[in-house]
Each structure stands twice: as C-alpha cells, then as structure tokens.
Amino acid sequence: MRYEAEGGDPANAGLQHGRAFLEPVKQKHPWITYSDLWTLAGVVAIKELGGPDVPWQGGRTDLVDDSKVPPRGRLPDGAQGADHLRFIFYRMGFNDQEIVALAGGHNLGRCHGDRSGFEGPWVTNPTRFSNSFFKLLLQLDWKPRKLATGMSQFVYEDPDADEDEEPLMMLPTDMALKTDPAFAPWVHRYAEDKDLFFDHFSKVFAKLIELGIQRDAQGTITNTDNKMGGYVSAPKKSDTATGPPKKGELRARL
C-alpha cells in the first residue's frame, strides 16, 4: 500500500483516505511499521464498532522498495461472481466458509461512486459490526440497477422510505453468496447465529492479516523481505489522501 503499484491499484480505490487518517498516529509513534499500524488499526476498529476480538501480533517489517509488490489483477472485483471469488481466495488458502465469513465485513462502511463505481451502504447501521449483512441479503428483495458510473449493482427499494433516504445495496459478488450451493449454507448459518459469525470472522480475519508471515514458538517473525533486516519502519507518508482512482478503472475492494 505504500507504493503506487499497489496503493494506486483501482481495486484499492478509496483506501488512501484510511491511510491518511492514520498518519497522525504514525507521526506520534514513528517506530511502528506501516504493516503493523494498518493491521492493528483494522482489528481495533472492528472491536470498537461492536465486533469480536481479533488475535493480533506485531513484528511485521516494511519493504524497502516495490520490487516485492504483487502484480495487479489479484484482488477481488465486486462486479464478478462465485467463480471469481474462489479464484481469488483459494489462491490465498481460504475455503468456501472463510470466503463467506470475510464477506461479512460488509456490515461496515459503504461504497462510493467516485471511488469504486458502486454506490450506497450494505446495511442500515454501517458503523456497527453485526450479522445484519447476511440477514438483509436473505430477507430483502434485491433488484438489479445500472448506475450512472456504468456499474451494475443490486438495490432494495423500500416503499416506506423517505424521499431522501438512500437505498441499501449489494454487489454482484454478494448476491453470488446466497445463490451458490456451497456458499449459501454459510450465509444462512451466519444470518441465524451472530456468535458463530463473530467466532468465524475473528479467525479468518486473523488469518488474512498473517498471510505470508512465519513465526517461531515465541511469536517472533522469522521471515523478512527487508534488505535491512530486523524491525524497520518505512518513512512517513503524506498526511493527505493521494493517488485518486482514474475514471473508468473503478472497482470495489471486498
């Protein structure tokens, strides 16, 4: 994320605002690496918004250049379907249950048309972590809609909503979760059992932020790509959001 090769990827559109939001923390604690800061911020936010405790360990080092940044095209595309989700997440070692659990992160936040091309929140209270995403996915009558951005999504048009009330939305990949025969049972289970969802989400999110990391019995990271070795923090980034996405290259980051 520190380098344009990844931070400027259209699939990461909008994340520059979150990175800039954390810069005051980096300025106050310059010793912490960005990789530790950003992953720690994620687990703290989930907890503060009512979600589960997510196990977290520090020790990640920052790369000294962009030579190890993976090529573009390896991130989820919200406009796709079930096969695409498996193509992306199987490669990282996730199974069908874990894919559905990770999608539950859509209980938080919203899509912005000027960033991802999609528009609207998934749930009625997008600042409270819950299992509402799965409940609404199953309960509401979702209709396809083509947006002015050129993207297609699904919306629920509430007949009792106020005139200025924004409709809820779902991505094509979200809809695939309830129609795919292997994904759907987990959608139903998480809609019915919040504790089960919280438990599974905690485990899979912890797995996500540990991808590529090897630790010894004491939890110390034993592999590093940093040429300098040890726990090395990268130079501070800009205090303002940079690298806006280009029009026509917009996609949602799942």
C-beta atoms surrounding 88 within 10 Å: 19
Per-residue pLDDT reduced to its tens digit, 1-33: 777 778 888 888 888 888 899 999 999 999 999
CA 67 – CA 56 distance, rounded (Å): 27
Residue 168 tokens read as 């809820």
Q: CA 183, CA 37: separation in Å to the nearest integer? A: 32
Strand residues in the chain grouped as ranges (E): 110-111, 120-121, 143-146, 152-156, 168-170
Confidence band of 253 (pLDDT split at 50, 70, 90):
very low
The predicted model scores a pTM of: 0.90
pLDDT value at 247 more than 60 = no
Token pair of 180 as six digits: 């795919």
Q: What's the confidence (pLDDT) of residue 250? A: 47
How confident is the model over 81-100, as a mean pLDDT? Answer: 97
d(CA 113, CA 130): 24
For 208, the enclosing helix (H) or strand (E) is helix 194-208
Output 107 or 2, whichever has higher pLDDT: 107
Per-residue HEC secondary structure of 41-94 comes to HHHHHHHHCCCCCCCCCCCCCCCCCHHHCCCCCCCCCCCCCHHHHHHHHHCCCC
pLDDT digit string, tens, across residues 163-196: 778 899 999 999 999 999 999 999 999 999 999 9
**Residue 93 phi, psi (nearest 5):** 95, 15
**Residue 18: predicted pLDDT:** 87
Would you say residue 214 has pLDDT above 80?
yes
Q: Which two tokens stand for residue 220?
A: 């110390």
**Predicted pLDDT at 179:** 98
Q: What are the structure tokens assigned to 4, written together?
A: 């344009």
Task: Report the chain's mean pLDDT, rounded to a whole number.
Answer: 89
DSSP bridge pairs for 153: 145
Residue 21 token pair: 């939001």
| pLDDT recorded at residue 29 | 93
**Phi, psi torsion values for 143, nearest 5 degrees:** -115, 140
Number of Cβ atoms within 10 Å of the Cβ of 178? 18
Is the pLDDT score of 228 beyond 90? no
Query: What confidence score (pLDDT) does residue 229 get?
Result: 64
pLDDT reading at 158 higher than 50: yes
DSSP 8-state code for residue 215: B
Q: Which residues of 130-140 are buried (b: 16+ CB within 10 A; e: fewer)?
A: bbbbbbbbeee
* pLDDT value for 167: 93
- What whole-number distance in Å separates Cα of residue 131 and Cα of residue 135? 7
Q: Is the pLDDT of residue 243 over 70?
A: no
Phi-psi region of 196 (alpha: psi -120 to 50; beta: other; left: phi over 0): alpha
How much of the chain, in percent, has pLDDT values that exceed 70? 93
Ordered domains of the chain (ranges, CATH): 4-208 (1.10.420.10)
Collapse the DSSP code of 182 into the 3-class scheme (helix H, G, I; strand E, B; otherwise coil) and give the result.
coil
**Given a cut of 90, is residue 132 above it in pLDDT?**
yes
Instruction: Write out the H or E segment, with its range, that includes residue 17.
Output: helix 15-21
74: pLDDT confidence band, cut at 50, 70 and 90?
Answer: confident
Beta bridge partners of 221: 215
Q: Is the pLDDT of residue 63 over 70?
A: yes
Q: How confident is the model over 206-232, as a mean pLDDT?
A: 83
Has residue 133 got a pLDDT over 90? Answer: yes
pLDDT of 137 > 90? The answer is: yes
Average pLDDT over residues 75-102: 97
The yes-or-no verdict on residue 217 having pLDDT over 80 is: yes
